[in-house]
Amino acid sequence: MAVWRRLFANPSAAAGLVVILLYAFAALFAPVIAPYGPREMVLANRLKPPAFLEGGSPSHLLGTDHLGYDIFSRILYGARVSLLVGLISVAISLVIGTLLGCIAGYWRGWIDRILSRIADLLMGFPYLLFTIFAMAIIGPGFGNLIIALCFKAWVEFYRLARGEMLTENTKEYVEAARALGRRPVAIIVSEVLPNIYHSLLVLGTLRMGYMIIMEASLSFLGLGIPPSIPAWGSMVSAGRDQMLNAWWVATMPGLAIVGLVLAINLFGEGLREALDPRLRR
Q: d(Cα 39, Cα 78) in Å, to the nearest integer? A: 12
Taking the complex as a whole, the smallest distance from the CB of residue 263 to another protein amounts, in Å, to 8
Select the span of 86-94, 142-150, 185-193, 210-218 touching another protein (CB under 8 A): 210-218
Is 269 a binder of another protein (CB under 8 A)? yes
Residues 230-259 that bind another protein (CB under 8 A): 233, 236-237, 239-240, 243-244, 247, 250-251, 254, 257-258
Q: Which of 147, 221, 226, 227 binds another protein (CB under 8 A)?
A: 221
71 binds another protein (CB under 8 A): no
The minimum distance between CB 90 and another protein, in angstroms, equals 16
Using an 8 Å Cβ cutoff, are 160 and 203 in contact?
yes
Q: How many CA atoms lie within 13 A of 130 on its CB side?
A: 16
Count Cα neighbours of 146 within 13 Å in the Cβ-side half-sphere. 15
**Cβ neighbours for 92, distance < 8 A, ≥ 6 positions apart:** 146, 150, 154
CB-based burial of residue 6 (10 Å sphere; 0-12 exposed, 13-18 middle, 19+ buried)? middle
For residue 179, give every residue at least 6 positions away whose Cβ sits within 8 Å of its Cβ, in sequence order, or none: none
Q: How far apart are CA 71 and CA 94, in angstroms?
A: 34
**Could you tell me the smallest distance in angstroms from the CB atom of residue 223 to another protein?**
9
Q: Does 42 bind another protein (CB under 8 A)?
A: no
CB nearer to another protein: pick between 102 and 271:
271
Q: By C-beta, is 188 or 212 nearer to another protein? A: 212
Task: With contacts defined by CB under 8 A, name the span among 80-88, 158-166, 215-223, 270-278 that binds another protein.
Answer: 215-223
According to DSSP H, which parts of the chain are helical?
2-9, 11-28, 30-33, 71-107, 109-123, 127-138, 142-169, 172-179, 184-186, 193-220, 232-240, 248-275
123-142: contacts with another protein (CB under 8 A): 124-129, 132-133, 136-137, 139
Residues that bind another protein (CB under 8 A): 117, 120-121, 124-129, 132-133, 136-137, 139, 209, 213, 216-217, 220-221, 233, 236-237, 239-240, 243-244, 247, 250-251, 254, 257-258, 261-262, 264-266, 269, 281
